Chain A
Amino acid sequence: MPTRGDVTASATPSSSTPPLDPTAWTCPAPLRDHPRIVMGHGGGGALSAELVQHIFAPAFGGEVLAQMGDAASVSMGGARLAFSTDSFVVRPLFFPGGSIGDLAVNGTVNDLAMSGARAAYLSCGFILEEGVELSVVARVADAFGAAARNAGVEVATGDTKVVEAGHGDGIFINTAGIGLIPAGIDLRPQRVVPGDVVIVSGAIGVHGVAIMSVREGLEFGVEIESDCAALGGLVEAMLSVTGDLHVLRDPTRGGLAASLNEIAAASGTGIVIQERKVPVPPPVANACAILGLDAMYVANEGKLVAFVPREHADAVLDAMRAHPLGRDAAVIGEAVEAHPGMVVARTGLGGTRVVDLPVGEQLPRIC
């Protein structure tokens, strides 16, 4: 290991400046603990996971919660139900390709779909900020209703609260959903084994870049529309080929990287993906290149990633491609015995890199 050395100052402009002494240089204390919530706690990465692990899970307890899936699998009266809730705090409320109303329905419906369930009933909690125009609330409600009908789910119960001006962001929505898991379907990361094929249902990073382009007023030369969609139909098409899918995830916050890392950690297998096979549309790739973001970490709202036994992979891929929401489905990698719990990308040039769980949210870089 190299020893610490001195760098001597240039003698040119300021000869009075003392010589450089890098050995005197030190670094700040680690920021292990945030005493308050920071934005990263909601980013779907490591900070989010720690919040759940260290505060919510110990406080709530319970075996069902410990499943930590997109939806919980619960049994009632002999039926296996999927049960899930999600809250939506998106800004702006309307964006290319959708609105907070569509998201609030599709987000929960998709969480249920990832356990193989078809969503049946939805609850709807609207938290409105004083001063929001009724016409805006009506537009969001219309979008919510249309998305529910499209997903084949009934809005069964709801609630409305109003908070003072300045205490909200226009409209927040919480939804909870319930659906029936068909007999014989068991989707969870613990079923993943080395050799499983990793499939994504289409282009990644689209929703996050669409939101960013309108929220931050960035223009990338082409309008990027959110991929917001209900995935129940696509999952049904996949399950019609084989009930033996191992795990499904919709890679929302934290993107594909977060979902793959969660699956790697929970399954104890390694995951290898071929970077060039991950479908990233050119406008998304360009936007990410400009901002210094990695599309693997950008949020999606109408995509899923599936771990499928190798023998069923071709049939499942065909079934996905025959469905409108899986037209661009692609095999991007596989589960492996090596490096358990870790996701590794093979780069286009032939190198390798680790694809880590994001810390919080991705931050656009300085230059």
Chain B
Amino acid sequence: MKYIDEFQDPALARRLLEEIRSTVTRPWALMEVCGGQTHTIIRHGIDQLLPDQVELIHGPGCPVCVTPLEVIDKALEIASRPEVIFCSFGDMLRVPGTGRDLFRVRSEGGDVRVVYSPLDALKIAQQNPDREVVFFGIGFETTAPPNAMTVYQARRLGIRNFSLLVSHVRVPPAIEAIMQSPNCRVQAFLAAGHVCSVMGVGEYPQLAERYGVPIVVTGFEPLDILEGVRRTVAQLERGEHTVDNAYPRAVRPEGNPAALAMLEDVFEVTDRSWRGIGVIPASGWRLSPRYRDYDAEYRFSVTGIDTREPAQCRSGEVLQGLLKPHECEAFGTICTPRTPLGATMVSSEGACAAYYLYRRLDMKKTAPLEASSVG
């Protein structure tokens, strides 16, 4: 199949694995930054196939996981209002806020709609001039440009009943925060290719230099991941720490100038709270003052949010690579995709969900087959 099979070819994968095996001489810990990469790794069993010396640590790059509880609760509050049509990407609907999720708001009468593009939400606003349409703008550098463009369009078209609930985050400051952790074991990064396709690689050389870590821009198909690992391990073994682009079919060093211009126009950099990590300086975007009218937080002045989280969940450590999902006591017992304690279990890109969905066979002993249960 064009564009998919080429990047899942078992023969090529074996060759790359062989090369990694023949290169590696000692243990290395690599962090794949993006949740999409985590799922590819787990879904295809890549971590099982790599030599034992190469450990993959899952990073904080799941947009759903890192959206702060407070923002989820604001979304729930706004979505509950009768005048509001609340639009979101699908996977945000199941993320638990304090005691409920957007599905539950919908079951209670809220007008919550799944859209595939923020522009769909803008269309809904045009079609419903007597309602307030709010789009849940979360995610990394990948989703920020289209969301910025939607706000830009709303203003250009004079659409007044549209606003954005913004919680955008940026990857490089998170990498910096992880590297400054006293417990950090990460020795190299597989950078998220789609983030770099927007932003370019401009911020990475100084990070690689400052912390002495190789950063290899990596794609999302199995062969992309293996190639990223191969190049990273090769650098580590040689004692190098440079930025390398292993995803040139999508990433230009300068990024996407049109997207960058849109970001520059509509957003401004701000400190952001990351669920499970805390506040990271300059790690997010908010609407710039010129577009304040389109900020749902201002428009709805959401107050009285009582955000509460119990203490059992350790996904903050998972997001920082300090803990593997199955090392958490709650994993697979009180915490499952059906009964998620934290966003890393609920999100389709969360590391805990990936482990639970694809890998729990390895994590627990299976019960002996009962003779009576076989027909």
Contacts and interface: CB of A to CB of B under 8 A. Distances in A.
Contacts of B348: 292, 363, 365
Interface string B297-330: 0000000000011111111110010110001000
A366 B46 contact: no
Interface stretch (A89-97, A130-138, A352-360): A352-360
B338 A359 contact: yes
Contacts of B103: 34, 38-40
Interface in B133-167: 138-140, 142-143
Contact of A354 (B114, B269, B358): B358
B369 A337 contact: yes
B96 A4 contact: no
Interface string A157-191: 00000000000000000000000000000000011
Interface stretch (B234-242, B250-258, B286-294, B360-368): B360-368
Interface string A67-93: 000000000000000000000000000
Between B97, B114, B180, B342, the greatest number of chain A beta carbons within 10 A of the residue's beta carbon is seen for: B180
B278 A7 contact: yes
Contacts, number: 265
Interface stretch (A21-29, A232-240, A312-320): A21-29
B45 A349 contact: yes
A351 B176 contact: no
**Most B CB within 10 A of own CB, among A24, A246, A337, A364:** A364
Contact of B99 (A6, A29, A270, A350): A29
Contact of A6 (B46, B181, B310): B181
Q: How large is the interface on A (under 10, 10 to 19, 20 to 34, 35 or more residues)?
A: 35 or more
Interface in A223-279: 246, 267-270
B349 to A, nearest CB: 6
Given A31-B101, A338-B366, A366-B139, A8 B181 contact: yes
Given A27-B313, A353-B357, A365-B91, A10 B180 contact: yes
Most buried by B among A14, A216, A347, A364: A347
A39 to B, nearest CB: 7
B143 A366 contact: yes
B90 interface: yes
A270 to B, nearest CB: 8
29 contacts: A5-B181, A5-B317, A5-B320, A6-B181, A7-B178, A9-B177, A10-B280, A13-B271, A14-B282, A20-B280, A26-B312, A27-B342, A28-B309, A29-B99, A31-B340, A36-B107, A40-B103, A268-B374, A269-B373, A286-B4, A292-B348, A337-B369, A340-B370, A340-B373, A344-B361, A354-B357, A364-B90, A365-B349, A367-B143
Given A8-B182, A25-B276, A342-B361, 6 more contacts: A22-B276, A31-B340, A218-B116, A286-B4, A348-B8, A349-B45
Interface of A: 1-10, 12-15, 17-18, 20-22, 24-32, 34, 36-40, 46-47, 190-194, 216, 218, 246, 267-270, 282, 285-286, 289, 291-292, 337-340, 342, 344, 347-354, 356, 359-360, 363-367
